[in-house]
Amino acid sequence: MTNPIRTTRPPTATTTVTSSNSPSLVPQQPLQAVILAGGKGSRLQPLTQYLPKPLMPIEGKPILEWLLLQLKQQGFSTVTLALGHEAQKIQDYFGTGARLGMTIQYCLETEPLGTAGPLRLVEALPENFLVLNADIFTTLNFKALLIDHIINGQSATVAVHRHVVKSEFGVVHFTPNSNEITQFEEKPTHTQFVNMGIYAFNKSVLSALPEKNCCGIDDLLKGLQAQQKPIHAFPFEGYWLDIGRPTAYQQAQIDAAVVLPLQQQVLASI
């Protein structure tokens, strides 16, 4: 069976939309995003004991506010926040989104729905839309990701980031039958692409959601594979950090002085 996930070189921020697939329609399509912000932030305990993870501050603003500002500046006028744990605190902080110059809508879980289940609750989704986790600190060009997804006519596109893992130990290779050692590798490094928690979807993917109420994005992607629908990869080499762990959150505080100006450079290049 061939690998249904394909990779492509991501467009730069100055990419002109000229694809014959939909050359004139892409700029007119509404840019809309769904942010998954319903988790309990268990990995960030005890930091999230009194404050929900999306409201954890970086340089004086909640991480979720930085995400919303990035999206707004890149042309996403409407964002839906999928909320569960501590929903009222997040609603009280962001309100209608007027303070940020955008429209913020909410879909509220009455029971845990996972990362994909809330998509069933979002009203009036456009034909193509962005979905992302609320605990992401990145310089990714979200608009370029969505345009790449639309131009290529994909059902689903997953943003992926190169991740290098260095082994703490020397690795020994040997043949299973004779136990003869064939190779020594002293603390090798392994490179792999990891899921960034940022996706572009066509509305048709909702048919691949499993029947159970609580399901994850991984369940959705496996459902698409079961339907033999290719899943597209969008490689990104810039800055990306999942702040879901205390060490990563501390790293985000250190990196912010460099990352926040880089986010503005992305905006300037659009």
Q: If pLDDT is split at 50, 70 and 90, which confidence band does 17 have? A: very low
Pairing assessment for the beta strands 181-185 and 78-83 based on DSSP bridges:
unpaired
Contact 64, 189 (CB under 8 A): no
Q: How far apart are CA 44 and CA 208, in angstroms?
A: 31
pLDDT at 211 over 90: no
pLDDT at 102 over 90: yes
Q: What is the mean pLDDT of residues 190-205?
A: 94
- Whose CA is closest to 52, among 88, 15, 19? 88
Kindly report the three-state secondary structure assignment for every residue of the chain: CCCCEEECCCCCCCCCCCCCCCCCCCCCCCCEEEEEECCCCHHHCCCCCCCCHHHCEECCEEHHHHHHHHHHHCCCCEEEEEEECEHHHHHHHHCCCHHHCCEEEEEECCCCCCCCHHHHHCCCCCCEEEEEECCEEECCCHHHHHHHHHHCCCCEEEEEEEEEEECCCCEEEECCCCCCEEEEECCCEEEEEEEEEEEEEEHHHHHHCCCCCCCCHHHHHHHHHHCCCCEEEEEECCCEEECCCHHHHHHHHHHHHHHHHHHHHHHHHC
Q: Report CA-CA distances (Å) from 180 to 112, 174, 183, 184, 186.
A: 51, 5, 9, 12, 18
Residue 15, pLDDT score = 33
pLDDT at 90 over 80: yes
**pTM (whole model) above 0.85:** no
- Overall fold of domain 5-162+194-269: Spore Coat Polysaccharide Biosynthesis Protein SpsA; Chain A (3.90.550)
Q: Report CA-CA distances (Å) from 82 to 33, 64, 202, 214, 231.
A: 11, 12, 18, 13, 24
Residue 41, pLDDT score = 58
Domains of the chain by residue range: 5-162+194-269
Average pLDDT along the chain:
85
Q: What is the mean pLDDT of residues 241-261?
A: 90
Residue 43, pLDDT score = 65
Residue 149, pLDDT score = 96
146: Cα separation from own chain's centroid: 12
The more confident residue out of 1 and 138 is 138
Look up 143 and say whether it is catalytic: no
- Point out the catalytic residue in the list 187, 203, 212, 222: 187
Which amino acid belongs to residue 145?
L
Least trusted range by pLDDT, from 121-125, 145-149, 150-154, 233-237: 121-125
Residue 245, pLDDT score = 85
Both tokens assigned to 32:
């809309």
Residue 190, pLDDT score = 87
Q: If pLDDT is split at 50, 70 and 90, which confidence band does 22 have? A: very low
Query: How does pLDDT run across 33-44, given as a tens digit for each residue?
Result: 999 987 765 666
- Best-predicted range by mean pLDDT among 9-18, 234-243, 257-266? 234-243
pLDDT at 241 over 50: yes
